[in-house]
Structure 1
Amino acid sequence: MLGVALVGIVTSTGSSYRTAEPGYENYPTFSTTTTTTSATGTTVAAIPTTAERTSPRATPTAGQRTPATRREPPKPRPVPKLADNPLMANGLGVPKTQCSLPRWNASPAGQQAYYEAAVNCMARAWAPVLSAAGLPTEPPRVYTPTGRHSSPCGNRAATDNAYYCRGNIYMPPQYFTKVEGLRMEQPAVFLGVLAHEYGHHVQELSGIMQAAWSIRYDVGEESVAGLENSRRTELQATCFGGMVYAGLVGNGSVGRGLYDAALRDNYQRGDHNGRPRDHGHPQNNGVWFQHGAEKNRTAQCNTWSASPDSVA
């Protein structure tokens, strides 16, 4: 079975801490039929056209050469590995990337425009890293749903948390205002959350997400080993989220103030108040974010080889 993580952030009433609360959806293993991804992110089987089904193959006559078939080079594919994933190779860091963002506007349309521009910046920052590791580089889609909405991972409410699912990032405005009680005057916190969700996309492109979910499915989602697996997944996404700031800060619209606010916010996000320990302590979450930003090396975000204490 293949699983897809949905990652969100909620806060309990009266608490200054913000908690990430993921959900998981199970998907059947597909056959070896060639598949493609539709505009909605749904995987569908590639169906031959009528001409392909009915046209006979031409048979060369005597003395006639069969024309050479041009072979396209194989496309990069995710590698389902964890600590030894190609993305964990030494020397891979986000380069300095120019980023121009529109003025922050708290309306849903304004948020959508801001997130789309930010995702474009993050995609350009991460593409050289993924390419150097021989991995896919396709950017995710981002949505700002204002009501109940559907995704490849199922139907979600307007106030459900921000999450990543199969090449899509969802940033529901009502979650931030009604659940976390945040004021929408400044974009810093939301940009930090978006960077974390993009970190999950990097995990998906690399194959880490698939490998992590396979293990968690085998050991049990809520088992001790399963929850530790989840924390390693989440804290690595946080570290990747920090890395992107190393490339964007000081190169356009992303200033030091946006980074400092995101850093403070990451030290408040994590497991607390008796919730399942699936994301890590807020202190560890902040440390991994800061580690990614300051070290700017994927190998330094290898939570899969880190000590249990650092992912507690």
Structure 2
Amino acid sequence: MRTSPIATAVVALGVLAAPAQAAPGWAGKPPRTSCQEPKLIDGGVPYPREYLTRILKCLDKAWSARFAKAGHRFTAPRVAFYEGPQRTVCGIPWPEGAAAFYCTNRRTLVLPLTGEWIEDRTDLYPMKVAAHEYGHHLQSLTGIRAAYDRRPTAAKAKRYELQADCLAGAFLSSVWPSLRRPATDWRKLVESVRRSGDDDAQGTHGSGANRVYWLTRGYTAGSCDTWSAPAAKVS
């Protein structure tokens, strides 16, 4: 049986093949990476652009090494900072209720410098959100997004989003020793992620419990194949 170009690309990265009706999965953390996290607030003054710029460099470093190990080409995403929501972005209306997000059509991370997700915070939530959106870029690079787009459904949308949570967990695991944060900060992040869940049938990102499950799975095992996971784990 012939292997599709998409499957070949993802298998080269250690990505697990999934059932034909789904899209490819993902396995493997990036290598241990040093990330010197700057202060988001210093002396009462916020520095969101400086903070995010540093975190994005850490993400580039970690994931480019993972791709290089697999012998696969890596390109960093474009980045667009905004002071707040705009009428349009990436040629489309600004998504309603969105904080940070990824423009698939332009492979661009859109990072607002204001909003609940980043203002007045000293926890890990801004780093996790940036890592989640970066995960969508990885899905585009490996062909996972293209496979999803062939037959998108509401159920697959949750698998897609939960995989990005898992990839965020894998990144956080790779940089955790260098962050010099106490274990309580991880527990606080877990609770923030739990509260960000969609605990109704109309949501697109998964329940709070499942968002925590995949974040933690990425952190502990780096195994992010949401596409073949049981429905109960991706609801």
TM-score (norm 2): 0.79
Measure how far apart 1:278 and its partner are. Answer: 2.1
Q: Name 1:233's counterpart in structure 2.
A: 160
2: distance between equivalents of 1:93 and 1:262?
19
1:138 paired to 2:61: no
Task: Find the aligned partners of 1:187 and 1:133 in 2 and give their Cα distance.
Answer: 33
Which ranges of structure 2 fall in alignment gaps of 5 or more residues? 18-26
**CA distance in 2: counterparts of 1:136 and 1:230, whole angstroms:** 26
Displacement of 1:208 in angstroms is 0.5
CA 1:117–1:309 in 2, change beyond 3 Å: closer, same or farther?
A: same
For residues 181 and 62 of structure 2, what CA distance do their matches in structure 1 show? 13
Q: Does the CA-based 8 Å contact 1:82-1:211 persist in structure 2?
A: no
- Name the amino acid aligned to 1:101: E
Task: Select which of 213, 229, 235 maps to 1:287.
Answer: 213
How far residue 104 of structure 1 moved from its aligned partner, in angstroms, is: 1.3
Contact 1:160 1:172 in 2 (8 A): no
Partner of 1:261: 188
> Larger C-alpha radius of gyration, 1 or 2?
1
- Return 124-133 or 233-242, whichever deviates more: 124-133
The corresponding residue for 2:32 is 96
Higher mean C-alpha deviation, range 81-90 or range 113-122: 81-90
Normalised by the length of structure 1, the TM-score is 0.61
Structure 2 residue identity aligned to 1:136:
R
Distance 1:252 1:176, change over 3 A: closer
Query: Please, which of 100, 112, 115 is the counterpart of residue 49 of structure 2?
Result: 112
Structure 1 stretch displaced more, 108-117 or 88-97? 88-97
Structure 1 vs Structure 2 CA RMSD: 3.1
Aligned runs of 1:12-161 on 2, under 5 Å?
A: 79=6, 86-89=13-16, 92-105=28-41, 110-147=47-84, 148=86, 150-156=88-94, 160-161=98-99
1:186 equivalent to 2:109? Answer no
CA contact (8 A) 1:142 1:171 kept: yes
SS at match of 2:148: helix
Structure 1 residues without counterparts, runs of 5 or longer: 1-77, 217-225
Residue 224 of structure 2 is matched in structure 1 by 301
Matched, 1:171 2:111: yes
Contact 1:87 1:130 in 2 (8 A): no
The answer (yes or no) to whether the contact 1:146–1:158 under 8 Å persists in 2 is no
Distance (Å, rounded) in 2 between the aligned partners of 1:85 and 1:282: 32
1:186 deviation in Å? 1.2
> Could you tell me which amino acid in structure 2 is paired with residue 276 of structure 1?
Q
The Cα shift of 1:162 comes to 1.7
* Residues 87 and 206, structure 1, Cα contact 8 Å, conserved in 2: no
SS in 1 for 2:79: strand
What is the count of residue pairs matched by the alignment?
Answer: 218
- Contact 2:102–2:136 (Cα < 8 Å) also in 1: yes
Q: Which has the higher contact order (CA 8 A, sep 6+)?
A: 2
Within the alignment, does 1:270 sit opposite 2:208 as a pair? Answer: no
Q: 1:309 to 1:269 in 2, by over 3 A?
A: same
Contact 2:123 2:189 in 1 (8 A): no
Distance 1:108 1:246 in 2: 29
Inter-CA distance 292–211: structure 2 relative to 1 (3 Å threshold): same
Task: Work out the CA distance in 2 between the residues paired with 1:275 and 1:308.
Answer: 13
Greater Cα offset, 151-160 or 109-118 = 151-160
- Aligned identity (percent) is 24
Q: Which amino acid aligns with 1:121?
A: C
Q: Report what 2:21 is aligned to.
A: none
Q: Whole-Å Cα distance in 2 between the matches of residues 192 and 284 of structure 1?
A: 16
How far did 1:159 drift?
Answer: 6.7
